[in-house]
Structure 1
Amino acid sequence: QEPPLGISKVRELFDVDPTTGEITVRGQLDYELDDSYEIDIQASDSGAYPLRTDKSVTVIIKDMNDNAPVIDITSLSNKISEDSRPGTTVALLSITDLDSGVNGKVISFVKGAVPFTLTPSIQDNMYAVPVLTSEKTFRVVLSDVNDNSPEFSRRLYHFYVTENNPAGGSVFSVRAFDRDEGDNAQYSLSKTLARKVYEVFELDSLSGQIKLKGTLDFEESEIYKLEVQASDKGQPPLTGRCRVIIKIKDVNDNPPEIEVTSLSSKVSEESKPGTVISLLSVTDKDSGINAKVILHVIGDVPFELKPSYKENIYSVVTKGFLDREQVPQYEITIKATDCGKPPLSTYKSLNIQISDVNDNSPHFSQNPLQFYLVENNVAGSTIFSVRATDNDLNENAAITYHIMRAMSGNDSPSSFLNINPDNGQISALKSFDFERVKTFQFHVVASDSGSPSLSSNVTVNVFILDQNDNAPVILYPLSSNGSAEGVEEIPRNVNAGHLVTKVRAYDADIGYNGWLLFSLQEVTAHSLFTLDRYTGQIRTLRSFTETDEAEHKLLILVKDNGNVSLSATATVLVRLVAPKEAFAASDVKSSSRADEDNNVTFYLMITLASVSALFLISIIVLIAMQCSKSTDYTSKYLQETNYDGTLCHSIQYRSGDKRYMLVGPRMSIGSTIVPGSQANTLVLPDRRRTSEEVRT
């Protein structure tokens, strides 16, 4: 029996893997035909009596943009009037798209430079990608209307009017004719005329009469040129034009006039009082007392007027010294007033730019400058920069930089520093080592390019900041062949907590980079020994028994607290002996260490004194520099107490928004400095007693 039509269609389009149950597409799907399918899946096991389960799966088909829009013309006007207004319907179009959602949304427009557009009934936005398009072309024929412009009887009209004619009277009339039927002309003045024309004249839009709207002024204008246009009522309206020339008869009513005959728009700021910057000519078109003019400068400016030997000629001169840095430009306003009744006045403004001279040295906003540089910098790269400003302009403010050479060429910072002369960026020619150089000072000179050149200098203090670039060095245990290994003999009858020995180490770095921690990496018997992580002391955890081995090997790891920790290892061999043998070995070892300590005591004292002095000097210099700054850069010193042993005493300080820590030795009774420790590692002396120990 044949399956139903729907099941047959599903089998044509989909497959199911009998093993995995994966459903795959085998035929061509079409959203426009079916947007979903119901697939019945049956699963059965392989038992003697197979058991089955049925499940229906619904597959939803997503639409894709595979159908182009279709344009149908439902209505068309093949011929429309020439005067049809915008928005007139020419044709009705039906635009459809078989797709759905954003794929079925359509945007329509008219192609080409034609005076037609589409007005959709519903405005939609198009988002479908890719875009499919369709085109439809049809022809529209326009009928002819209103193609004749109004014409005046003459192209040019002349007439006269006196200056004191009263406003409101008619002075002239114009008339235009239109060959089109039923279209009466309307008159107006052209919109491109001078503003004064509209203030003085007005035109009756129906009769064409030109009327006097305002007062006339012969001295202002002896003649007025009007352009009159006549427009019909067609859509769009057509226009004809004519020119009207009106000549004015004179009446006396004029204010003074100021003419600038010479002007120096730029004046040097080093100009002396009395320097001429401008010449003025003053005239008045009136006569007699009405033409007599008085001038003066308005406002408090360093300029004044001086009359010339010629009548009505004045010079503008400086009356004080100029400073461009305070006032870079002036607007000088000059008032001219005639002696008529009432007096008439006029104003003139002169814009004067003050040109620069090199009268300002480069200036550093802060002196001295402090910079903090992490050691191991890349040689040749920029480490910091200095910047000076100059209140002058152009080449007078163009600053170049160089490092001032010291008296000693070898020790001069200029031998290992380089400065970009244009931008003040300073690069180091070598990499700095905090353990060798902690601070240095130099001077930078900033010079402008003026003539003569002016310069100033700034003191630059550079503080090198420590990096964790030194691994811990183990001083004890250390055997004769140089390997980090030592042997300790202790009696079997010691109690728990007995001090076996102490691992001594130092780190050339400071602060947390030189803070050493000890850990027990390997030990033959974990229940016998313990290691203090801060002091390096090895002690017994319990008393020894007869079954305990006679020799034990301890592997000690010493590491610092840098961001990338560095470490070293040492091996300690602990031998258990009879009490008498232990005392004899202890005496020999004490004598040997006493001799060694006597040999280095003198050097340790010198090292301690030198390092302490250097540390104190650094702190004093920092305090002095921070105290000399403004409130924003005030340093705050906080003492922080740390552990003895290999820990250090630290001082934290803040400069601006940065925090720094200097670490030096924290002295306690009986403490000594390990040689080469750079004042950052303290090791307490190992004191042992026969029957009891003293914790240090």
Structure 2
Amino acid sequence: RQVIRAVMGILLISDKGVSLFALWHIVLLFLVFCSRIVFGQMTYSIPEEMQKGSTIGNIAQDLGLDLKRLKAGRARIYTGDNMEYIELNRDNGRLLIKESIDRESLCAKITPCALHLQMILDNPMELYSVTVEIKDLNDNSPYFQKSEIRFEISESAAVGARFVLGRAVDPDVGVNGLSTYSLNPTKNFVLDEQSDVGKTIEMVLQQPLDREKEERLNLLLTAFDGGEPRLSGTMNIYVKVLDANDNAPVFSQKAYKATVIENAAKGTRLTSVSATDSDEGSNSLVTYHISDAVDNSVTDVFVVDSQSGEVTLNGKIDYETCNHYQLDIQARDQGGLSDSCKVFIDVLDVNDHQPAIDIISMSSSISEESKPNTVVAMIKVNDPDSGANGQVHCTISDNIPFAVNTPSDNFFSLRTEQELDREREAEYNITMMCSDEGVPPLSSSVSLRLQISDVNDNAPVFERSSYEAFVLENNTPGLSIFKVKARDADSNQNARVSYILEDSTVNGVPVSSYVSVSADSGVINAVRSFDYEQLKDFHFRVIAQDGGSPPLSGNVTVTIAIQDQNDNAPQVLYPVQTGGSLVAEIVPRSADVGYLVTKVVAVDVDSGQNAWLSYKLQKKATDRALFEVGPQNGEIRTVRQVTDKDAVKQKLTVVVEDNGQPSRSAVVNINVAVADSFPEVLSEFTDLTHGKEYNDNLTFYLVLALAAVSFLFITCVVVIISVKIYRWRQSRVFYQSNLPVIPYYPPGYTDTGVTGTLPHMYNYDVCMTTNSRKSDCKYSTLGGHSVLMVDPSFSETMQREMRDKFSVRQNNSLRFTPSNDSGEPDGNVHNNRRNHGH
């Protein structure tokens, strides 16, 4: 019976096909028979979630066992790990639910789901296998791991783009398990219908997105199972439509360079890279990353900040190990677009060596006529550092005519840059400073001393551009006048100056006859005594010559001005003093006070104050003065009215004195006739001159007449030319003297042949003033009032003519130029008619 039941169990199980479970029972049955142990198997099928205490089945009845056998055999259930689910009631032989069974917790997705039990009896030992199959109920709804999922999809996403949604989960199995999905709305997206229900599903874009029309989409994904009733689960899908990410980040430059000294501290900032994205929103957010393709040795040393792009040192660097690094840095936006740049990092050597200066060759002196670019010294400079730390440049002191050149690496030459001038600088102390290119730079210096040798390139230069000296006339020959001085900027023999008098003439006479110059001292001496009236000044040139080879020279003009001394007395030009005649000025008794009698004209050939003349009258203390003379202009005027008591004949003595120290003077005597008629004057002067003067002058005039007749024929041809030359020379003398010179010429007398009485027979041209108190002159013809010159022969002639009743007319014409404010005449005096006859 037991065998039949076992076979029926096997057949029951095999209704759904032969399985491993059936095979296991066959093997077990075989073993039972072999060991003579009673064996039986029973299978039950129950739904999940049965309540506690529910009956699975009556195993005693099903196995054909007596209830007493259960008790006697101490029947018991062996459930293994599932002891909490099923128990055996020995009293009635029922299998009961000890705890509610959840198939999903017990078997998950395994099907079929069964509990395998063994019921064991003792005395004799019997073993019965019991299988309890747990059937699934549709007690679980499908569900998603997330209640919502969010997407940010660019509006430029292409149709057909897929987006993974994941999958729903349903613990139930079979028809109660997950069955289908649905997506709403389906305007832009659809589900991939070909996806297996048990796999991850995808959402496919079937229509392009337009952010400007719809920026956000809300979708609902629903999962359904196949049970009865049909259960479902949902998940919300939020889609944010992004602006099209059509612009990739762009670096401001494709390559960046940075330098860092070796042994720099960790965290040292090297450089910053910068990229910009012209998109908006998240598309414009750029992050920076070192490319994965870069060697790990580089990424261990350098890092880049993902937000700021700052590249910093993250490890230790050593110049000797590596002096150059290259980083590839990417800039990525949120849409996955990117750009790259390179960062070149140079490691700088630490500058720890000073340049070493070595003078290879040097000149101690150089001629000032050396041309520019003349090499003075050769110098080698060595710096054991590398790179910029080993690059050396040298400089010298400023404001000196030298320069440093670099003919080759580490070699420097000191050369002249400008023309040298020993007179400006005779010695140079040149400091050469050599510095490397390190940071900070290290330097060293050396001093060079250079002498400049002289050449004769400077001519002597006088202290003045010209000299002027003054010397008094009548000096002693050999007198030292003054000294010239010239200097030569050269040195030694080139600066030794000698003085030479240049050959020239003064008024046709060699200048050496006037002055001499000392060759060594430059002292100028007078060779002769000078006369101011003959030579007022002269000039000559003095040459200064140095001792160079060839010698150079300079010259200067020296002017000697002769200073006047008062060595000449005044000379009276008018009135002219004659030895045998008397000159008389006629003053009418009716003349007013201030009447101009005459004017004394005198000159002094001296100059300056030595030629300043003053006039005064020598008066007797007992005389009541009738006349006075102007102290500056020499005009003689009346100082009172003429009275009857005044004598007809007045003799005045005028003293002309210069202003020299000591002063010199001259004296002139003037006869003045005070009368209203000519006979009165004639009688007065005839008595005085009829005696001795007649005899003395008669011989003189006879000899003069004889000589004139003898030479008359010879001189008649040249007389006109001689007279004109004479007049011209006289006018030149007067103009050159610059003095108020008025020559006096005796009046000429001619016989008019007119008969009459004496007072009416003589007419004279007299120069008078328009106002007796002024010096201005006016021509007037007065009868009987003129200047009269009387001598003995003329007296006899006049008496004879009177007896013969001949009328004599004498015409004198004397012209004066107008006077200046001082009363002196402003021009020369010209005599229109000059007759030497009497």
Q: Normalised by the shorter chain, which TM-score bucket?
A: 0.3 to 0.5
Q: As a proportion of its length, which structure holds more helix? A: 2
TM-score (norm 1): 0.43
Larger Rg: 2
TM-score (norm 2): 0.37
